[in-house]
Amino acid sequence: MAARAKKTAVPVEKLTQTQAKVELVRLALEIERHNEHYYQEDAPKISDAAYDALRKRSDAIEARFPGLVTSDSPSKKIGAAPSGRFAKVPHAVPMLSLGNAFSDEDVKDFAERVRKFLKIDGDLDFVAEPKIDGLSLSLRYEDGELVRGATRGDGFTGEDVTANVKTISDIPHKLKGKSIPAVCEVRGEVYILGRDFIGFNKLAEKEGIQLAANPRNFAAGSLRQKDPSITASRPLKFFAYAWGEMSAMPAKTQHGMIEWMEKTGFSTNPLTTLCKNTDDLLNFYRKVEQKRSSLGYDIDGVVYKVDRLDWQERLGFVSRNPRWAIAHKFAAEQATTVLNDIEIQVGRTGALTPVAKLAPVTVGGVVVSNATLHNEDYIKAVGNDGEPIRGGVDIRIGDTVVVQRAGDVIPQIVSVVLDKRPKSAKSYKFPTVCPACGSHAVREQDPKTGELDSIRRCTNSLTCPAQAMERLKHFVARGAFDIDGLGDKQIEEFFADGLVSAPADIFTLKKRDARAQRKLAEREGFGDTSVRNLFDAIDARRKIPLQRFIYALGIRHVGEGNAKLLARHYGSVEVFRKAMIAAGKREESEAYQDLNSIEGIGEVVANAIVEFFKEPHSVDAVDALLKEIEVLPAEKVKSNSPIAGKTVVFTGSLEKFTREEAKATAERLGAKASGSVSKKTDYVVAGPGAGSKLADAQKLGVKVLTEDEWLALVGGS
Ligand code: IVH
């Protein structure tokens, strides 16, 4: 629908008043319909980008013909905020996601990583399970009684769907058996059988009600009904496979826990298998892949989990994924379609990314009309090493292409159907200037290898409007300042209006001159209440933890993980700011050395940070921001642990644990693991063969621990 409209659409500048009026009504209806698909049915029919395009066109027409704006225009309904239909539930134990493996090699690497981390030589047991393509649910039982059902939400806060959950027959209201722990949170996947999904759609078609896009969306939509009797009428099912808060553990292994869940009254997946080695895992994968189409429900891969729970505990997590489990995904789903155009998007760090504009096509149940083309070499089909990509077949506008989508990954174009290449197909000339600001866009050369970076970047980080706007979007996004009601769309509008052009502007909006305020209140759909709510949301972020602040700056290569490392190292924003400016003055400075010595911060990252602070404009922006906000000192992970706040260096060949494990333990207990010994080091843990670092420690009078002493200190954790 969106594509048809787009193809024949008259450019906004050329619309007559009458055409504009008709077009606005049509767009309003279409947007409203997609809002319903998205918010009420959990079943989007078009991509976010296609949806944004509809809204943009409607906004542009209204801007040209202000007289045509009506009270029920889509622009009056700001963002159609998330449902708010259900109460929010914080998860005591976050509901995290899994890392992915796509090949046998990835699986072998995973098993090897686990072995290395735990320092074991031989095989170890894994539990292998199908990866159910539904939605995860957490069920809380107190004294054996079901007290709450919550969706995953963002992993930290979900939605309370207790009344709906109670209608699902696979979910016990009371746990069976004796000695049930006082608190049990059982987690698993809500899903629906393919035949039930088809049955529902057939009925829906007959009755003229909205069809569901795929079983997953259908299950999600059914669970999130306001009226539990509707949920009850949908044959939802549930497999238990994990847990959250438990006041006591009924088993010591993953498979033991699954047996316990089965005994207490849950359905668990019958294919679940205890595997002894990597070959067993890969055999399981192939067996399940063969059975996939006859299972009766959708799965998108299999999951492998370390069986021993004490090992799971030791392995812990890296950002949002457990080290002790991985999802081995089935081959991505593909479809062919026509490449209508190529557009360039300019990112926060100036990267020019080519985006394929496709004739919309359904890939694995989702309509795709945009896909990434990665970079200019990818389109040209010659890598920066001179090697051909896709056998040297370039991608031309007008080509029929194969689009692939795997899970949450951005859809991509994997190949060209050469037989279908029309004579009129046009080779693409990648721009050498930034489409947003006209500055030179260049491919940096690696000074060491001489290799050209595959990404072309706009050189004008200072005033390129696209970069500035993307930086602002990043600044307010989740993980950074996370300001409620200030999303991509609002940033785009405020930026276009000149209300906000740098981070500090967000915090001065309120005290800015009356003109800016008036402009804000006059925005379509942005009445006094919205303005007040926005100011409250902004005020709520005037105090921010250091790691979020650092992440929000949007420095290249500084994601949430690195921001955390930096925050823990420097402790306060004053120290961080001063050190970064000092590090930029002279590459050989102590400050630069110190930055480079942080475990986990490599040279590339260190240089990116230094480059950022070398730019007076960046420092000015940081300083302007600091005038408006308070940055809270770095959070210590466990302030009551004996090593909280201490700096530890591991040296020598460690025998009782790996370096990676030791560092992870140190961090978990609030200590900092460093690579070099200085006056600031509190402990040096020395294994056999320790050399210069041990000598440094002795020279500086730093306390030296054996591996056993370290284990005693951290309580064997
Ligand atoms: S274990 C700490 N096991 O996949 C991670 N997840 O990408 C605990 N899923 O959000 C998850 N089947 O919704 C696990 N057998 C299975 C699963 C499974 C499906 C989903 C789940 C999770 C997502 C992770």
- Residue 36: what pLDDT? 67
Tell me phi and psi for residue 167, to 5 degrees. Answer: -90, -5
- Residue 452: what pLDDT? 85
Ligand 1 mean position to 280 CA, how many Å? Answer: 20
**Same domain, yes or no: 169 and 257:** yes
Average pLDDT over residues 70-98: 71
Domain range enclosing 243 = 90-329
**48 lies in a domain?**
yes
- Residue 630: what pLDDT? 97
Average pLDDT over residues 498-508: 94
d(CA 279, CA 220): 35
Smallest CA separation from ligand 1 atom 6, residue: 131
**Same domain, yes or no: 109 and 33:** no
**Same domain, yes or no: 65 and 94:** no
- Residue 488: what pLDDT? 93
Between these two residues, 710 and 59, which has the higher pLDDT value? 710
pLDDT tens profile 322-332: 999 999 998 77
**Same domain, yes or no: 405 and 324:** no
Between these two residues, 174 and 80, which has the higher pLDDT value? 174
Smallest CA separation from ligand 1 atom 1, residue: 242
Between these two residues, 379 and 82, which has the higher pLDDT value? 379
Ligand 1 mean position to 402 CA, how many Å? Answer: 29
- Residue 161: what pLDDT? 95
pLDDT tier at 5 (50, 70, 90 boundaries)?
very low
- Residue 334: what pLDDT? 85
**Same domain, yes or no: 54 and 101:** no
d(CA 684, CA 703): 6
**Same domain, yes or no: 324 and 306:** yes
pLDDT tier at 3 (50, 70, 90 boundaries)?
very low
317: enclosing H helix or E strand: strand 317-318
The CATH number of residue 364's host domain is 2.40.50.140
Domain stops at, among 286, 306, 329: 329
pLDDT tier at 407 (50, 70, 90 boundaries)?
low
Above 70 in pLDDT, residue 74? yes
Q: Is residue 473 within 8 Å of residue 507, measured between CB atoms?
A: no
How far, rounded to the nearest angstrom, does the alpha carbon of residue 316 sit from its chain's CA centroid? 19
- Residue 673: what pLDDT? 84
**Same domain, yes or no: 403 and 273:** no
* Residue 363 in tokens: 């890939």
Smallest CA separation from ligand 1 atom 16, residue: 131
DSSP state of 253: B
Number of Cβ within 10 Å of residue 548's Cβ equals 20
**Same domain, yes or no: 238 and 172:** yes
d(CA 386, CA 242): 47
For a pocket test of ligand 1, which of 91, 95, 98 has the largest count of ligand atoms closer than 8 A to its C-beta? 98
Above 70 in pLDDT, residue 594? yes
- Residue 676: what pLDDT? 86
CA neighbours closer than 13 Å in the CB half-sphere of residue 567: 26
Helix (H, G, I), strand (E, B) or coil at 200: helix
* Beta sheet of 647-651, edge-to-edge order: 672-674, 647-651, 683-686, 703-705
Ligand 1 mean position to 163 CA, how many Å? Answer: 23
Between these two residues, 113 and 666, which has the higher pLDDT value? 113
- Residue 6: what pLDDT? 40
Ligand 1 mean position to 432 CA, how many Å? Answer: 43
pLDDT tier at 440 (50, 70, 90 boundaries)?
very high
**Same domain, yes or no: 41 and 168:** no
pLDDT tier at 460 (50, 70, 90 boundaries)?
very high
Taking the CA of residue 130 as reference, the ligand 1 atom at the shortest distance is 15
For a pocket test of ligand 1, which of 191, 241, 324, 326 has the largest count of ligand atoms closer than 8 A to its C-beta? 241
Ligand 1 mean position to 268 CA, how many Å? Answer: 13
Smallest CA separation from ligand 1 atom 13, residue: 136
**53 lies in a domain?**
yes
**84 lies in a domain?**
no
H helix runs in 500-586, sequence order: 503-508, 514-522, 528-539, 546-552, 560-570, 573-585
Cβ-based neighbours of 248, under 8 Å, separated by 6 or more: 181, 182
Domain stops at, among 632, 658, 678: 632
Domain stops at, among 269, 301, 329: 329
Distance in Å from the first CA to the final CA of the chain: 57
Smallest CA separation from ligand 1 atom 15, residue: 131
- Residue 32: what pLDDT? 78
Average pLDDT over residues 397-416: 86
Between these two residues, 81 and 42, which has the higher pLDDT value? 42
Residues lining ligand 1, Cβ inside 6 A = 96-98, 129, 131-132, 136, 152, 189, 241-242, 303, 322, 325, 327
Domain count, the chain: 5
- Residue 517: what pLDDT? 73
**447 lies in a domain?**
no
Our CA dihedral for 56, 58, 59, 61, rounded to 10 degrees, sits at: 120
**438 lies in a domain?**
no
H helix runs in 478-513, sequence order: 488-496, 503-508
**437 lies in a domain?**
no
DSSP state of 39: I
**Same domain, yes or no: 481 and 549:** yes
Smallest CA separation from ligand 1 atom 23, residue: 97
Average pLDDT over residues 622-643: 83
Strand 352-363 to 366-372 pairing:
antiparallel
pLDDT tier at 81 (50, 70, 90 boundaries)?
very low
d(CA 641, CA 384): 50
pLDDT tier at 408 (50, 70, 90 boundaries)?
low
- Residue 78: what pLDDT? 40
Ligand 1 mean position to 98 CA, how many Å? Answer: 6
75-84, 188-197, 285-294, range with the lowest pLDDT: 75-84
Smallest CA separation from ligand 1 atom 21, residue: 136
Taking the CA of residue 135 as reference, the ligand 1 atom at the shortest distance is 13
The CATH number of residue 104's host domain is 3.30.470.30
Share of the chain above pLDDT 90, in %: 56
**454 lies in a domain?**
no
Cβ-based neighbours of 377, under 8 Å, separated by 6 or more: 383, 384, 389, 454
Among 65, 67, 47, smallest CA distance to 6 is for: 47
Which runs of E-coded beta strand occur in 198-247?
236-246
d(CA 506, CA 472): 9
Catalytic residue annotation: 131
Above 90 in pLDDT, residue 405? no
Q: Is residue 336 within 8 Å of residue 315, measured between CB atoms?
A: no
* Beta sheet of 299-306, edge-to-edge order: 100-101, 325-329, 299-306, 126-132, 273-275
Amino acid making up residue 618: S
Ligand 1 mean position to 97 CA, how many Å? Answer: 6
**452 lies in a domain?**
no
- Residue 318: what pLDDT? 83
The CATH number of residue 45's host domain is 1.10.287.610
Residue carrying the six token digits 């700056």: 553
For a pocket test of ligand 1, which of 91, 135, 136, 152 has the largest count of ligand atoms closer than 8 A to its C-beta? 136
pLDDT tens profile 350-366: 999 999 999 999 886 67
**Same domain, yes or no: 628 and 683:** no
Above 70 in pLDDT, residue 237? yes
**Same domain, yes or no: 692 and 563:** no
pLDDT tens profile 523-574: 767 777 888 888 999 999 999 999 999 999 999 999 988 998 899 889 999 9
189: enclosing H helix or E strand: strand 183-192
The CATH number of residue 621's host domain is 1.10.150.20
Mean per-residue pLDDT over the chain, rounded:
88
Among 277, 265, 304, smallest CA distance to 288 is for: 304
- Residue 332: what pLDDT? 74
Between these two residues, 693 and 72, which has the higher pLDDT value? 693
Share of the chain above pLDDT 70, in %: 93
153-162, 423-432, 447-456, 554-563, range with the lowest pLDDT: 447-456
Above 90 in pLDDT, residue 164? yes
- Residue 568: what pLDDT? 86
Cβ-based neighbours of 336, under 8 Å, separated by 6 or more: 361, 400, 401, 402, 403, 417
d(CA 129, CA 272): 5
